[in-house]
Structure 1
Amino acid sequence: MMRVRIIDGHCDALYKMFEQPSIDFYDPAAGLDVSYARIKQANVKIQFFAIFLPERITVPQFDHYLEYINIFYRKITCDGRVRLIKNRDDLYAVWHSDQIGAILTLEGADAVQGNPLYTRTLYHLGVRFVGVTWNYGNWAADGILEPRQSGFSNRGKSFIKDCCDLGILLDASHLSAAAFWDLAAATAKPFVATHSNAKALCGHPRNLDDDQLRELIRRDGRIGVTFVPWFVDSANATIDGVLRHIDYIGALGGERQLVFGSDFDGISRAIPNLEHAGQYVNLVDALEKRYSGTQVQRFLNGNWFSFLERHLPVH
């Protein structure tokens, strides 16, 4: 049977390639959760690649982002097998070809420092989603683990406007609760949470409470169910546990907003039988036993595709 195509909204393969320059995305033995061989194996058609600076970089510089983007262009889109998606034309071209699509995202805008030229440069280089913080605070906003738990600064609110004016989409995963609601108040546009689960099922701070989930659903944003074990279940994460989060978000009315954001290559421990992109097939098998074919297609690609089709730049 033909496998359903998959769109995955978050991975940290670039982080591993930044930390270990010898890693080859096209080498099946490279040790990446998201390698070319593994995403081909699982029929991942579009993969989001995050620019995430390691915590050891205590003073992030814009050049660090440029290093990541250079790795992406030199080592991933180097020979045409993977194509960067910057607009709807690219989206359609990938969907109707043998190419795999890649979307560049920024996880932590620390080095932007409120400089609109930096924001515009990221856009020109192909970044289409921005998570403003990682877990802690920066010049723009507080992350979910920042003790003061504030929202967006004035400069951060200007950054939201700059992103929206350019066509950069915003990602609320990692934001403090106050910052989540500041983002919701600052823009009428839909936004996403690329890799967060339901807090009612697993109380990790990185998960979203019911009000946040309902807001993303109300605005027709997207909620990326993630495979981080400690976001799935505090004790014993399984594929069935992932399905429970899907059931829960669906029961809130989120069937058309529910997507996936694996966080592969960003986790030190994995769910059994869902340990890398090549094992997506095990999740697909479990989904097909519980949901209709239409629902499975929506979760795996349709919901992400419709969002990208609506909100990416036209050309």
Structure 2
Amino acid sequence: MQIIDLHCDVLEKLTRLENVDFRNDSRLDANLNNLKAGNVKVQVFAIFIHPSVPQERKFLEAARQIEAFHTKVLSEPEMIHITEWNQINDLEDGQIGAVLSLEGCDCIGDDLEKLRVILDAGVKLVGLTWNYENEVAYGTLEDSSKGLKPFAKDVIDLLNERNIIIDVAHLNEKGFYDLLPLSKYILASHCNARTLCDHPRNLTDDQVKQLVNHGGRIHVVFYPPFIQKGEDHATIETLVKHVEHLSNLVGIENIGFGSDFDGIEPLFVEKLSNASEFPNLIQALLEKFTEDEVNLLAYSGLVNFVSTIEGRKM
């Protein structure tokens, strides 16, 4: 069964580690060989700038990750750059679609031109924050009562104009509710159910329902502390419970995968430690859902979602 994974942090490793090979480097959870073994058909690669990077260097680091995407990921003949969502339907056997996302607007500061440059590089999803405050909004580890900042309107208007999906995965609760009526396309790329695991990075039942009511989706994340509260380990069966809960809440067609591979080590779900082990998760899901339902979760639900978005040639 084919997979779409909405989040990995390969690009940060490609710019930080020495002599790293995207095709088969064992230091990469989502290297090319693992993606192929896991039947991943589309992989979203996040531009993530660590908060320890000085503000004046963050845009340069984003540019370095975009360069690594082109020189190390897209240099592999199997990897196809997705700049319009409808290209997913044109992928041939053996090809894997590669999508760019921006995990937080920290790197743009208060400069909208920097965001335009990043979007022009082919970014299709943008999160307003990571875990902490920036010039746009407040992250999930900030005061949940603080909402979007004034600059957020300019950012959101540009993203809506470009038909860019806005990702709420790291946005705090007040910012989430402020964003809903303003966003054109919206989803949570890597979050779980807070009802089952009370962590600020997960969404409450009301948030999940409101997200889907506004046309959005939620993609479950494979990080054990977001699956089982206070635990550094988790089983696939425990992760499946989040899928079951969310399915009962909003329907399986509105759920997907956002592994966060290469951003979660050394903590992994048992038998789900890299992209090659996606079939283990699929098998566990097939014990709870029909094959058609699991296909919606793994692949076609997201394809249906992006089919409503007008393509934009880069």
1:53-109 residue CA offsets vs partner (Å, 9 max, x unmatched): 123203143221110000000000014310110103422222x44310011000111
Q: Secondary structure at the match of 1:61?
A: helix
2:42: which partner in 1? Answer: 46
1:178-257 alignment, distance < 5 Å: 178-187=174-183, 189-234=184-229, 235=231, 236-257=233-254
Letter of the aligned partner of 1:284 in structure 2? I
Q: Does 1:300 align with 2:295?
A: no
Structure 2: 5+ residue runs without aligned partners? none
CA contact (8 A) 2:112 2:154 kept: no
Count of aligned pairs: 309
Q: Secondary structure at the match of 1:310?
A: coil
RMSD in angstroms over aligned alpha carbons? 1.5
1:131-146 alignment, distance < 5 Å: 131-146=127-142
CA contact (8 A) 1:114 1:159 kept: no
Deviation at 1:121, TM superposition (A): 1.5
1:11-30 alignment, distance < 5 Å: 11-27=8-24, 29-30=25-26
CA contact (8 A) 1:224 1:261 kept: yes
Q: Secondary structure at the match of 2:97?
A: strand
CA contact (8 A) 1:23 1:30 kept: no
Deviation at 1:309, TM superposition (A): 2.1
Letter of the aligned partner of 2:37 in structure 1? Q
Letter of the aligned partner of 1:164 in structure 2? N
1:1-315 alignment, distance < 5 Å: 4-27=1-24, 29-59=25-55, 60-94=57-91, 96-147=92-143, 149-187=145-183, 189-234=184-229, 235=231, 236-268=233-265, 269-311=267-309, 313=311, 315=313
Q: Secondary structure at the match of 1:83?
A: strand
Q: Secondary structure at the match of 2:198?
A: coil
Deviation at 1:149, TM superposition (A): 4.3
> TM-score when scaled to structure 1?
0.94
Please say which of residues 112-121 and 164-173 is displaced more in the overlay.
Answer: 112-121
Distance in 1, Cα, partners of 2:118 & 2:163: 11
Q: Secondary structure at the match of 1:220?
A: coil
Identity %: 34
Distance in 1, Cα, partners of 2:95 & 2:50: 30
Deviation at 1:208, TM superposition (A): 0.2
Structure 1: 5+ residue runs without aligned partners? none
Deviation at 1:314, TM superposition (A): 5.0
CA contact (8 A) 2:7 2:44 kept: yes
Residues 284/22 of structure 1: CA separation in 2 closer, same or farther (3 Å cut): same
